[in-house]
Amino acid sequence: MKIGNREFQTKGHTYVMGILNVTPDSFSDGGKWNDRDRALRHVEEMLEEGADIIDIGGESTRPGYTLLPEHEEIERVVPVIEAVKAAFDVPVSLDTYKARVASAGIAAGADLINDVWGLKYDSWSRNGADAPGNGASGQGGSAMAQVIAESGLPCCLMHNRRDTDYRDFVHDVIGDLEGTLRLAEQAGIGRERIILDPGVGFAKSYEQNLEIIRRMGELGTLGCPLLLGCSRKSVIGLTLDLPADQRLEGTLVTTVAGVLQGAMFVRVHDVRENVRAVRMAEAIFAERVSGG
């Protein structure tokens, strides 16, 4: 899969996506990087530590987050995308679920759109809902899908839903993602441009988060590569009874789980340590990782 000017394997190796939050209220590093110069220094640091791609986000999606107006999110992310692309030769992902923000980010140089609502946010908003429902049918069209389709860029589409009324948890997650893939197909986004994310920490109980990490490999039946994003999340904090800034070891275990289940990417805050964990896991489990 080509992202920016780089070709990425979709199988046989796990790449590391470094997180750059340009927000004042992210759950783990809010306010640390929302100054342009500090953001660029942090990107330089992540690249030195081995990051393969940088994921830039302008709105926190932590539990209880405040919805950010589109113009304010654009004002946060566009200058940072432009600055990162000007300073570094690295693919840049934009973490947004809003079509107008995605469009502005693409114009600024974003190479991939990372949508935590799996193309469903704007379609339900137009239908009068205040937020997406579970959307297994994937009906109604999507402005975000159109923006991505017209750009020709790849995308990462995450599982999410408004309710947690699951009947058969993993089966329902797969069904929801099938709805996302239908929206992508309707807009003209080819499967070869799609990465799927099981959505750890979104619309899932503590037990369900553990289950989806353990069983994420089953999502491979959908025919798309996978991204796992567990870094510093509450499932780790609840398991180990630790605050966000002390969840590195727990994150590393989830990264190894991602490697063993064939994740194309892990999305992390602590790049150096996770790069090392990936390399070690791939060395130990080389035959399993390569599909042998």
**Known catalytic residue: 233?**
yes
The catalytically annotated residue of 120, 267, 272, 288 is 267
Q: In degrees rounded to 5, what are phi and psi of residue 159?
A: -75, 130
Name the residue type at position 209.
Answer: N
Q: Which of 48, 56, 65 is nearest to 19 (CA)?
A: 56
- Quote the pLDDT of residue 36: 85
**Known catalytic residue: 191?**
no
Residue 256: partners with Cβ closer than 8 Å, 6 or more residues away:
277, 281
Structural domain boundaries enclosing 8: 2-289
Q: What is the CATH number of the domain that holds 210?
A: 3.20.20.20
Query: What is the spatial distance between Cα 142 and Cα 159, in angstroms, rounded to a whole number?
Result: 15
What is the chain's pLDDT, residue by residue, as a tens digit (292 residues)?
999 999 999 999 999 999 999 987 444 544 454 578 999 999 999 999 999 999 999 997 766 656 889 999 999 999 999 999 999 999 999 999 999 999 999 999 999 999 999 999 986 655 544 445 444 444 456 999 999 999 999 999 999 999 999 999 999 999 999 999 999 999 999 999 999 999 999 999 999 999 999 999 999 999 999 999 999 999 999 999 999 999 999 999 999 999 999 999 999 999 999 999 999 999 999 877 776 5
- Quote the pLDDT of residue 16: 98
201-254 pLDDT, tens digit each: 999 999 999 999 999 999 999 999 999 999 999 999 999 999 999 999 999 999
112-115 and 2-3 strand pairing: unpaired
- Quote the pLDDT of residue 292: 55
pTM here is 0.91
Q: Which residue has the tokens 């995450």?
A: 158
Burial of 221 (C-beta count, 10 Å sphere; 0-12/13-18/19+):
exposed
| Alpha carbon distances (Å) from 207 to 3, 163, 210 | 34, 16, 5
Domain count along the chain:
1
Q: Which of 239, 224, 231, 238 is nearest to 257 (CA)?
A: 231
- Quote the pLDDT of residue 30: 46
Tokens of 269: 């805050």
Give the 3-state secondary structure percentages of the chain, helix then strand then coil, rounded to 5: 45, 15, 40
The catalytically annotated residue of 38, 233, 247, 272 is 233
